[in-house]
Amino acid sequence: RFHGEGYQEGYAEGSHVGVVEGRRYGSLHGAKIGSEIGCYLGFALTWQCLLQKCMDEKNSKKMRALASLIGMIQKFPYEDPTYDKLQEDLEKIRGKFKQVCSVLNIQSDFRISTERSSLTF
């Protein structure tokens, strides 16, 4: 009997601690992904505004790449943590961001640490 009661108490306590730890972990990593995607979107929108002032054939290729990145970010499922292709889509966005930086001839380095996040050019 004591063994059964001990098991039930331990299981209930472990479940509670697991939920709390999982929520904290999910919040932390969700915030990191949100920060990264937000930086990409801000970057793309800023460059799109800058390039609209002088449209030529050279800039049209840049604008198409930026529009593609913005479209990918806007389609990203922020509200659905159970989305099965979340990591795959995130990698596609990262790849498109690198491509946009290459087209714009900009070196980028996006790092996220526990202290602060930075995007340098």
Number of helices (H), then strands (E), in the chain? 3, 2
Alpha-carbon span 42 to 30, nearest angstrom: 18
For the chain, how many structural domains are there in total?
Answer: 1
Query: Which residues, at least 6 apart from 27, have a Cβ–Cβ distance to it below 8 Å?
Result: none
Query: Which residues, at least 6 apart from 52, have a Cβ–Cβ distance to it below 8 Å?
Result: 63
What's the domain range around 45?
2-104
DSSP of 63-106, one letter per residue?
HHHHHHHHHHHHHS-TT-TT-TTHHHHHHHHHHHHHHHHHHTT-
Residues facing residue 82 across a β-bridge: none
Residue 120 lies in a domain: no
Give the three-class secondary structure for 113: coil
What does pTM read for this prediction? 0.73
> Is the pLDDT confidence value at 119 over 60?
no
Residue 109 lies in a domain: no
Mean pLDDT of 91-110: 88
Q: Report the mean per-residue pLDDT for the chain.
A: 84
Q: What is the pLDDT of residues 33-44, one digit of tens each?
A: 889 999 999 999
Residue 55 lies in a domain: yes
**Which amino acid is residue 108, in one-letter code?**
S
Q: What is the pLDDT of residues 56-84, one digit of tens each?
A: 777 888 999 999 999 999 998 877 778 88
